[in-house]
Amino acid sequence: MNLKPIDSPELLNLAAAWLAREEDSQWLHPRNAAQAVTPEWLKIAIQRGGDVLRLFTADRDEAPIGVVGLSEVDRNYRTARIWILVGNKSFHARGYATRAASKMLTFAFRELELHAVNTWIVEGNPSVRIAKRLNFRLIGRQRECHYIDGEAHDRLWFDLLDSEHREI
């Protein structure tokens, strides 16, 4: 499994299509995306530098299977927010998301020299298990702030310090 830059029109189209799918986007909240995620919007977000996005690949043939991102990257305060999306559902629940997030955290702490990374997960989403596997600590709950199908859900907030990260 590798992380690859989203640096071609084909990869931008693929990542944007995954991020725009209602079944996936309802769990995410792309920063500054007032409209649907498009390849053009994604390219601009990447170029601005506040977001670092990578496709992650299958082990055998390196086919893209999902997107992992660091958003709100702040080099002054050495922080960012991590999120992940398995786009190719045939790879769901096979450990790829955990491994991709772990590699992205290594990149965040070693290459970008960040000190802390946070994330939020809608309560009830199985991704909470990924955060726990990666040593994230629960730091709080934002109540009834995330709407899915008109129903309010809580967001669970987690963080991880560079000293707590161990790549899987």
pLDDT at 80 over 70: yes
Q: Mind listing the domains of the chain with CATH numbers?
A: 3-164 (3.40.630.30)
The string of pLDDT tens digits covering residues 128-166 is 999 999 999 999 999 999 998 899 999 999 999 999 999
Q: What DSSP assignment string belongs to 74-109? A: ETTTTEEEEEEEE-SGGGTTSSHHHHHHHHHHHHHH
Nearest to 160 by CA among 137, 133, 128, 130: 137
Mean pLDDT of the chain: 91
Give helix 39-48 / helix 9-20 axis angle, nearest 10°.
110
The Cβ of residue 12 has, within 10 Å, a number of other Cβ atoms equal to 19
Strand, helix or coil for residue 157: strand
Mean pLDDT confidence for 9-20: 93
pLDDT score for 33:
44
pLDDT at 27 over 50: yes
pLDDT at 32 over 50: no
For residue 132, the cross-strand partners are none
pLDDT at 35 over 70: no
The string of pLDDT tens digits covering residues 39-60 is 998 898 889 888 999 999 998 8
The angle at the Cα of 22, spanning 16 to 23, to the nearest 5 degrees, equals 110
> Measured in whole angstroms, how far is the alpha carbon of residue 168 from the centre of its chain?
16
H or E segment and range at residue 5? strand 3-5
pTM for the model: 0.91
HSE-CB of 101 using CA atoms within 13 angstroms = 25
Beta-strand ranges (E) seen in 10-161 are: 52-57, 64-74, 79-86, 116-122, 137-148, 151-161
Least confident among 32-46, 65-79, 114-128: 32-46
The answer to whether residues 150 and 111 touch, using CB atoms and an 8 Å cutoff, is no
